Structure 1
């Protein structure tokens, strides 16, 4: 589902970009991928995360996908110079990714799965489009952060079928996404890396 204006404002803020720099630094330290990888970002927003990730990882192809046409337009408008020639921003739904199986070496998720009404399908789609050995870089937040009495009145999120740490980690395992050691988790969020292995 599309984010509403308060969350859109935050996602385009300098504070959010600092957080994404820190997250990408964690991703790179936890499990770097070689230059030239094919990368998909689900929920790319204004393209700021794409610029940060691409600067650190140097992919040969970077697709940013978002369900919000306005955000895709803004992201596509960020193109500046040849460094952006390998980046494409497309309109699409993370529950129904418009790509064939095993199309990407890595998928990036800066807190989008919790926006999906059928979040398990979103995890399954991530696993589907990753090649064997591919990497899922993710940041996710849990209901105590976005569905508390204050924020649930301000932010637009699905109310049913939400997840906490155990459910999210189990969904990764069910889809053959093996969580790497060293991930960070609290009652509010998780930041980690998972590798696609064979489904159990």
Structure 2
């Protein structure tokens, strides 16, 4: 689902960008070490391109393929990343336009909870990852989406959402097994983790 105006403002501002570049990058370095160094990384839901910047500048990816369902966000990302080794397109997490086993890693900066059929998105992530490939994720649990603020101010899907354990179980169902434990941040309002394709 595309973001509404409130969500766009919350996700597309200098504070959010600084948070991704510093705090979130540190979380993923702790989870993945230098696993992304020199790798081809797919970013699911690139927004205006800050996540792709983080993958290249902070986590050492050699190149990034990224897509978003929102054409206007892809255009902003193109402007931001025109001098970087990034391939951008409009796309759908439930039908990823990449060959099977073609990427070294997949990054989900809080996108899967926006997808109505999130299990299909997980299936697609597993499909495009090479054996031994890594998926890194940052997600919001069901209970956060059920709060008054999220129900009133956002357009997230309401049915078929997940808690951290349910998300990990779905990853495992597709051969993506946890690397370490899932971390909770901001009082459990956000969870982050890593899983490797067996």
- Under a length normalisation based on structure 1, what TM-score does the superposition of the two structures give? 0.91
Partner in structure 1 of residue 190 of structure 2:
189
What is the distance in 2 between the residues matched to 1:35 and 1:162?
32
Deviates more, 1:42-51 or 1:17-26: 17-26
Instruction: Check whether the contact 2:53–2:81 (CA below 8 A) recurs between aligned residues.
Output: no
> How far apart, in 2, do the equivalents of 1:183 and 1:62 lie?
24
Greater alpha carbon shift after TM alignment, 93-102 vs 142-151: 142-151
Shift of 1:80: 5.1
CA contact (8 A) 2:49 2:81 kept: no
Measured against aligned partners, the alpha-carbon deviations of 1:68-89 in whole angstroms (never above 9, x if no partner) come to 00000000011354xx1x1111
- Number of residue-to-residue matches in the alignment: 194
CA separation in 1, counterparts of 2:26 and 2:82?
Answer: 23
Residues 152-199 of structure 1 show CA distances to partners (whole Å, capped at 9, x for unaligned) of 1110111111111221111011011111114303643211111111xx
Contact 1:183 1:193 in 2 (8 A): yes
Distance 1:143 1:14 in 2: 27
- Distance in 2 of aligned mates of 1:149 and 1:30: 32
SS of the equivalent of 1:108 reads strand
Structure 1: gaps of 5 or more residues? none
Give the unaligned 5+ runs of structure 2: none
Correspondence for 1:89: 88
Contact map agreement 2:42 2:107 (CA 8 A) in 1: yes
Residue 34 of structure 1 deviates from its aligned partner by: 5.1
Q: Measure, in 1, the Cα distance between the counterparts of 2:7 and 2:41.
A: 25
1:7 match: 7
**SS of match in other structure, 1:36:** coil
Q: What secondary structure sits across from 1:166 in the alignment?
A: helix
Evaluate the alpha carbon distance shift between residue 148 and residue 130 of structure 1 in structure 2; reply closer, same or farther with a 3 A threshold.
Answer: same
Once the two structures are TM-superposed, the CA of residue 24 in structure 1 deviates from its matched residue by 1.7
TM-score, length-scaled by structure 2: 0.92
Deviation string 1:110-146 (CA, Å, 9 cap, x unpaired) is 0000000001111111111100111101100012223
Offset of 1:19 from its aligned partner? 2.8
